[in-house]
Every structure is written in structure tokens, then in C-alpha cells.
Amino acid sequence: MKDLIDLNDYSRNQIETIFDRTEELKANPYQNRLSNKTLAMIFAKPSTRTRVSFETGMTQLGGHAQYLGPNDLQLNRGETIADTAHVLSRFVNIIMARLFKHQDALDLARHAKIPVINGLTDFLHPCQALADLYTLKEHKGLDIEIAWVGGRGNVLNSLMQITNKFDIPIRFAGPKEREPEEDMLSRVKNTTIVGSAEEAVKGADAVFTDTWISMGEEKDAAQLFKTLKPYQVNAELMSKAPDAIFMHCLPAHRGQEVTNEVIDSAQSVVFDEAENRLHTQKAVICTLLNV
């Protein structure tokens, strides 16, 4: 595989191989595999975890990462994605990009001669899904059921794709207008829409949510808050799933999609989940660079 843009391009077997490498790198994080190699990190949106985990991962493997923020590239003054891809391919060894339009990530990968990793688009967040599944595997194994309470989005889309490959069912509860797109639903077999948050979490091994307002959706905030309020993950809801872990890609909007009581509880594994971004992404980089 040249790139990681969409997990649908990966087989279950390829994902398992990435997890084997993750395990190895997590146990032995400092390895000089990427000496003289450079990762260009394009960020059109803000980031804490993605930026710091990719940059740290490159350092731990003996390589280097360049942060290219929204005001750093000529891309933002109209240079094309194709020209940017051609030029970066002459300088660096691998690119990670966090962009708005998913098509831009596809175009970047198509024009780049080097591997391109999707660090989140409006449609998908494959790096998050890899870390999420790895975290589930560590805490619960993979013979599990997942509840997603809240709204659709890039994190849910990638989670649906990856869990579908592992036959892990997802029960989604959320307002009608924030259900996963029909197109996404029809492409996976594992996700069912249920009538209430309680129904979703009952018997679940993991309860997930994400921010109600994704980056770029701020103008719709007031309306989204109103419709999503009944789908807050709070202590009462989690009491219906006493054996479940709570997961969230972060950043959390405490008091909105999740309460402090839940995210700070013993059921919450959100910081293990965040840490696993580092380990799984290092495995992706080594896989794509064939080292």
C-alpha cells in the first residue's frame, strides 16, 4: 500500500500486521529506523494529538518532522495541491495531511510520489480508528459490541469501516438528522441505528462519542446542541453499561457530549486511546516506508 487515506483500502490482514508492528514499537519505542528521513505535516486545521504524536514518533524513530500550519504553505495562497505534492515529493520522504475536503487528501496522494497519510478530513480519520481498535483490543479483545452515542462524523465513519472488517457490531443512537450518511451505512454491514441511547449502550463493551461540533461546522452549533442534548454520555447512561469502557478521540467538550463524571471515571480509557495514536502511527509510517 502506498498511502493511508481510507481504511477501506486496507484488508483485515494488513491492519493486523500494523497492529503486530505497533505492539513491537510500543514495547521498544526508540529505534533508529528513520535516520535522515523527513515527514512533512500539513495542517489546515488545529491539532494537539495528531501533531504531537506524529512529530514525537518521527523523533523516536530517528527521523524528523516539519510542521506546516495553515499559514506556512503557498497552498493557502492558491498553489495547487498537485504542485505542492510534486514539490514535497522532491524534498521529504512522507507526508501527513489534515485537510478539510476529503478530495484534497485523495488528490494529494494521487500526485505525490511518496506515501501520504490522512491525518483527518471532513469525511474520515483513519489514524484515529487504528488507535481506537488497538485500544479496544488491549482493553477488551475484539469479540465485542460497541455503542456510539451522539452524531455522525469523520471519527465514526472510520470506526465503522475498521470495525466492519473485524465483524464488530456498532449500535448507533443519535438524532435523525445526525445519523451516519446513507452511503456510509450501506457500505458496512455492522452498524445499526437504534431508538435510544439506553438501547445502544445496553450490553456494550465500549461506549464511544465524539464532539458534537466538528472543526469547520461551527456555524451550525446552536441547532446541533439542541438536537444532540438527549444523547449526552453521562453517569446515568454509563450505569446501564457497567462493564463498558468509555472512549473519545478527544478533544472533549466536557459538559456537552460527555460529563466530567464519565470522562474522569474508572471506565474511561481516553488517555490510553490518545497514547495509542503514537504507537499505531509509528507502525503505519514504518509500514509505508518499508523499514
* 105's grid cell: 487528501
Between 3 and 132, name the residue whose CB sits nearer to ligand CP.
Answer: 132
At a CB cut-off of 8 Å and minimum separation 6, what does 230 contact?
A: 175, 197
Answer yes or no whether residue 215 interacts with ligand NVA by CB under 6 A: yes
Quick one: CA dihedral 120, 124, 126, 129, positive or negative?
A: positive
For residues 160 and 180, give the distance between their C-alpha atoms in angstroms, rounded to a whole number.
Answer: 10
CB of 248 to ligand CP, least distance (A): 9
Under 8 Å between Cβ of 158 and 7 = yes
Give me the active site residues, please: 98, 125, 128, 210, 249, 277
Between 104 and 132, name the residue whose CB sits nearer to ligand CP.
Answer: 132
Q: Measure CA of the first residue to CA of the last residue in the chain; give whole Å.
A: 14
The DSSP bridge pattern shows strands 94-98 and 38-43 to be: parallel
Residue 153 contacts which entry, ligand CP, ligand NVA, none (Cβ below 5-8 A, type-dependent): ligand NVA
Contact residue for ligand NVA among 155, 200, 270, 278 (CB under 6 A): 155
Between 25 and 213, name the residue whose CB sits nearer to ligand NVA.
Answer: 213
Answer yes or no whether residue 157 interacts with ligand NVA by CB under 6 A: no
CA trace torsion 146, 150, 156, 161 (10° rounding): 50
Residue type, 69: G
At a CB cut-off of 8 Å and minimum separation 6, what does 67 contact?
A: 41, 43, 51, 55
Among 55-63, 84-92, 187-195, 245-253, the segment contacting ligand CP (CB under 6 A):
245-253
CB of 98 to ligand CP, least distance (A): 7
* 283's grid cell: 507502525
Answer yes or no whether residue 164 interacts with ligand NVA by CB under 6 A: no
CA trace torsion 237, 248, 151, 159 (10° rounding): -120
Answer yes or no whether residue 214 interacts with ligand NVA by CB under 6 A: yes
CB of 101 to ligand CP, least distance (A): 17
Contact residue for ligand NVA among 53, 157, 211, 256 (CB under 6 A): 211
Q: What is the DSSP letter of 90?
A: H
Answer yes or no whether residue 154 interacts with ligand NVA by CB under 6 A: yes
User: What are the phi and psi torsion angles at 195 (to 5°)?
Assistant: -80, -20
Answer yes or no whether residue 105 interacts with ligand NVA by CB under 6 A: no
Answer yes or no whether residue 15 interacts with ligand NVA by CB under 6 A: no
Q: What is the DSSP letter of 73?
A: S
Contact residue for ligand CP among 142, 250, 289, 291 (CB under 6 A): 250
Interface with ligand NVA in residues 242-271 (CB under 6 A): 249
For residues 213 and 152, give the distance between their C-alpha atoms in angstroms, rounded to a whole number.
Answer: 10
Residue 48 contacts which entry, ligand NVA, ligand CP, none (Cβ below 5-8 A, type-dependent): ligand CP
Contact residues: ligand NVA, CB under 6 A: 120, 153-155, 210-211, 214-215, 249
Contact residues: ligand CP, CB under 6 A: 47-50, 120, 128, 249-251
